[in-house]
């Protein structure tokens, strides 16, 4: 078995206690919630924190509540399984429940958390490997090396955002609450990302994501998530797309959004989706052809790279198929789109 490097485990019981520890230890500390991302990464020698601050005993960070205004508050250490099975999440943010239900496999979803999936490290076939493997390779740009093996001569890391829930949260206009010794700040999830595979978030590593807030959606809200992967379980996405589709009282599309993942370092919002879909009524030819136009648009904008395992050309070929199927599923109030 691969060994975990040695570290000190801290288990604070309050957010303040956690932020104080992070402030105290600075770059030597990392937070862990479910550990489904951090522990394997540490076993691979990708991170070697001296102190790991566990959020498991911070009761205030766990659970799902519905505010009076109908918005959802999801504690960051709520497990993915809880989020996937939550009746309020299924009712008011179906795409999020669907995406959570497709993260990894059942066992991992009972450990992995809502916040952990947002904060997931970017992934790459040249990076998520053991130390021996990476050393034999001569390392890579993201960790310990200077060369990118995805883009010849590349200077910027293109490891892929691989979190299934991130694009759904973007499509839902969610905000994130980050705690630090300086207090709490709120960040719209769409503004969290930057195009740097080494650390793709505009947040300090010492900041702790405590809560995800999903605003109340429109009355005719529909949503779906589509996930391409090799197996019916376990695998990270080879491509993922989140759809928001708000239907007006007349049954026509009043608002829409499409955000994709497993492409580049950040989740990617496809541009001009809303203008193509608004006014089209699901079930009509006009809607179907608008959906096809959106699929073509996604094909033009979403360009998978050889960062994560899987044939990039094939993944690209599947972009319009999954986008179209996910849009249609959302329109029907169905989903997720997945091969099993």
Partner 1 sequence: MAARDIHGIEAPWTEFKVVGKSHRKIDGMAKATGEAVYADDIQLPGMLHAKTLRSPHAHAKIVSIDTSKAEALPGVHAVITGKDMPIQYGVIPWTPDETALAVDKVRFIGDEVAAVAAIDEDTANAALELIEVVYEELHAYMDPRESLERDEPQIHPNRKNNNVSKHVELEFGDVDGARKASDVVVEGHYEFHGSTHTAIEPHCAVAKVSPEGVLTIWSATQISHYVHRALARVLEWEPQKIRVIQPCIGGAFGGKSDPFSLEFCVAKLSQLTGRPVKMLWTREEVFYAHRGRHPMSLDYTTSATKDGKITGVDAKILIDGGSYSSFGLVTTYYSGQLLTGPYDFPSYRYDSTRVFTNKPPCGPKRGHGSVQPRFAFECQLDEVAEKLGMDPIEIRRKNFHGEHTKTVNGQRITSSGFMECLDKVEKGSGWTERRGKLPFGRGLGVAGSMYISGTNYPIYPNEMPQAGIQLKVDRSGLVTVFSGANDIGQGSNSVVRYIVAEELGMDAADVRVIAADSDLCPVDLGAYSSRVTFMVGNATIDAARKLRKKIVTALAEKWEVPEARVRLIEGRAIDLEDTERSIPSREAFEIAEARFDTLGSTGAYNTPTLGGDYRGGTIGASPAYSFTAHIVEVDVDEETGRITVPKVWCAHDCGRALNPRLVAGQIEGSVYMGIAETLLEDHKVNRFGLHSGPSLLDYRIPTAIDTPEIEAYIVESLDPEGPYGAKEAGEGPLHSAIPALANAVYDAVGIRLRELPFTPAKVLKALREKREQESKAGGAAAAMDRHLGTH
Give the DSSP per-residue string, 148-195: -SSSTT--S--PBP--SHHHHHHHTT-EEEEEETTEEEEEEGGGSB-S
Considering beta carbons, is residue 250 or 314 the nearer one to partner 1?
Answer: 314
Closest CA to 28 of 57, 8, 49, 42: 49
Nearest to 53 by CA among 26, 72, 80, 85: 26
Indicate which single residue of 301, 321, 333, 334 sits in contact with partner 1 (rule: CB under 8 A): 321
Which residues, 86 to 105, sit near partner 1 by CB under 8 A? 105
Q: Is 147 in the site for partner 1 (CB under 8 A)?
A: no
**232 counts as binding partner 1 under rule CB under 8 A:** yes
Smallest distance, Å, CB 174 to partner 1?
A: 28
Contact between 88 and 66 under an 8 Å Cβ cutoff? The reply is yes
- 233 sits near partner 1 (criterion: CB under 8 A): yes
The verdict on 234 binding partner 1 (CB under 8 A) reads yes
List the x/- string, 49-88, binding to partner 1 by CB under 8 A.
----------------------------------------
The phi, psi pair for 303, rounded to 5°, reads -120, 95
Q: Does 8 bind partner 1 (CB under 8 A)?
A: no
Least separation, in Å, of the C-beta of 23 and partner 1? 30
Q: Is residue 336 reached through a cis peptide bond, with omega within 30 degrees of 0 on the bond before it?
A: yes
Q: Contacts with partner 1: how many residues (CB under 8 A)?
A: 31
Taking the complex as a whole, the smallest distance from the CB of residue 139 to partner 1 amounts, in Å, to 11
Options 247, 318, 319, 330; binder of partner 1; rule CB under 8 A: 318
Bridge partners (DSSP) of residue 53 are 10, 31
**Which tokens sit at 290?**
């608008």
Work out whether 317 is an interface residue with partner 1 (CB under 8 A).
Answer: yes
Q: How many residues does the chain have?
A: 340
Point out which span in 68-76, 163-171, 209-217, 311-319 binds partner 1 (CB under 8 A).
311-319
- Tokens standing for 206? 């010492």
> Closest CB to partner 1 among 15 and 263?
263
Asked if 136 touches partner 1 (CB under 8 A), the answer is yes
Interface of this chain with partner 1, residues 106 to 125, rule: CB under 8 A: 125
Q: Pick out residues in 167-196 that bind partner 1 (CB under 8 A).
A: none
CA distances from 335 to 159, 263, 321, 325 (A): 28, 21, 14, 9
**Closest separation in Å from C-beta 85 to partner 1:** 18
Say how far apart CA 74 and CA 89 lie, in whole Å.
9
Dist CA 21 CA 53 (whole Å)? 7
CB nearer partner 1, residue 21 or residue 228 = 228
Q: How many CB atoms lie within 10 A of CB 195?
A: 13
Binding segment toward partner 1, per CB under 8 A, in 10-18, 157-165, 189-197, 230-238: 230-238
CB closer to partner 1 out of 221 and 338: 338
Minimal distance, residue 32 CB to partner 1, in Å: 19
Alpha-carbon distance 31 to 155, whole Å?
29
For residues 217 and 93, the answer to whether their CB atoms sit within 8 Å is yes
78 neighbors 103 (Cβ within 8 angstroms): no
Contact footprint for partner 1 (CB under 8 A): 1-3, 6, 105, 125, 128-130, 132-133, 135-137, 228, 230-236, 309, 311, 313-314, 317-318, 321, 339-340
């Amino acid at each position: 078995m691969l060994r975990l490097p040695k570290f000190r485990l801290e288990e604070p019981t309050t957010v303040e206690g956690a932020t104080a520890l992070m402030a105290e230890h600075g770059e030597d500390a990392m937070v862990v919630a479910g550990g489904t991302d951090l522990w394997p990464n540490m076993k691979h020698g990708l991170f070697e924190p001296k102190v790991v601050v566990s959020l498991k005993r911070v009761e205030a960070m766990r659970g799902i509540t519905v505010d009076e205004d109908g918005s959802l508050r999801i504690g960051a250490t709520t497990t993915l399984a809880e989020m996937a099975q939550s009746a309020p999440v299924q009712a008011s943010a179906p795409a999020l429940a669907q995406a959570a239900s497709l993260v990894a496999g059942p066992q991992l979803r009972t450990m992995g958390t809502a916040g952990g999936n947002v904060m997931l490290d970017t992934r790459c076939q040249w990076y998520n490997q053991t130390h021996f493997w990476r050393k034999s390779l001569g390392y890579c740009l993201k960790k310990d090396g200077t060369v990118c093996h995805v883009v010849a001569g590349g200077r910027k890391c293109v490891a892929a955002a691989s979190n299934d829930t991130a694009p759904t949260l973007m499509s839902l206009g969610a905000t994130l609450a980050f705690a630090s010794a300086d207090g709490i700040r709120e960040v719209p999830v769409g503004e969290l990302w930057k195009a740097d595979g080494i650390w793709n978030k505009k947040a300090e590593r010492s900041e702790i994501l405590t809560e995800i807030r999903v605003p109340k959606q429109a009355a005719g809200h529909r949503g779906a998530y589509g996930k391409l992967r090799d197996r019916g379980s376990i695998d990270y996405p080879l491509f993922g797309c989140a759809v928001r589709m708000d239907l007006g009282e007349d049954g026509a599309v009043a608002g829409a959004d499409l955000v994709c993942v497993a492409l580049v370092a950040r989740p990617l919002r496809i541009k001009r989706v809303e203008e193509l879909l608004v006014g089209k009524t699901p079930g009509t030819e006009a809607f179907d052809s608008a959906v096809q136009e959106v699929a073509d648009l996604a094909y033009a904008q979403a360009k998978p790279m050889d960062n994560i395992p899987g044939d990039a050309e094939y993944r690209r070929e599947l972009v319009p198929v999954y986008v179209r199927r996910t849009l249609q599923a959302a329109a029907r109030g169905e989903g997720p789109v997945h091969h099993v």
